[in-house]
Amino acid sequence: MQINTLINDIPKKPALRREWIKYQFRLRGYSVHAFAESIGVRPPAVSNAFWKPSSHIQQEIADFLGIPPGVLFPEFYTDDGRLIPGTKPRNRSRKPTKSHRSKGRAA
């Protein structure tokens, strides 16, 4: 299958695109789980990359399929392939504020 044919077949809607990518994995003998193991991450990390920006995992998916990440995940990338500012997930190393801490359970 040629790259141009693949690119023309990529669905525009993110939910359909996710299923299309999973189908491309299956055509190559992989599941999301097997692909995750092959790149050394847990399966939820790959699944999350379909919906949230994760440039390194999205790059791994793109490399595996031979398609630029900006084509596979256009909502997260500029036309020249750079991650769109503001689409990176917030820094999770920060401590949660008091309003985000869970309160004790009522008896």
Distance of CA 3 to the CA centre of its chain: 20
Domain assignment of residue 35, yes or no: yes
Please give the chain's pLDDT, 107 residues, in tens.
555 657 888 999 999 999 999 999 999 999 999 999 999 999 999 999 999 888 899 999 999 999 999 999 999 999 888 888 776 554 444 444 444 444 454 54
Q: What is the CATH number of the domain that holds 23?
A: 1.10.260
**Region of residue 83 (phi > 0: left; psi between -120 and 50: alpha; otherwise: beta):** beta
Distance of CA 33 to the CA centre of its chain: 13
Distance of CA 15 to the CA centre of its chain: 12
Domain assignment of residue 49, yes or no: yes
Domain that holds residue 38: 12-72
Number of domains in the chain: 1
Q: What is the DSSP string of 69-92?
A: HHHH-TTTB-TTSPBPTT-SPP-T
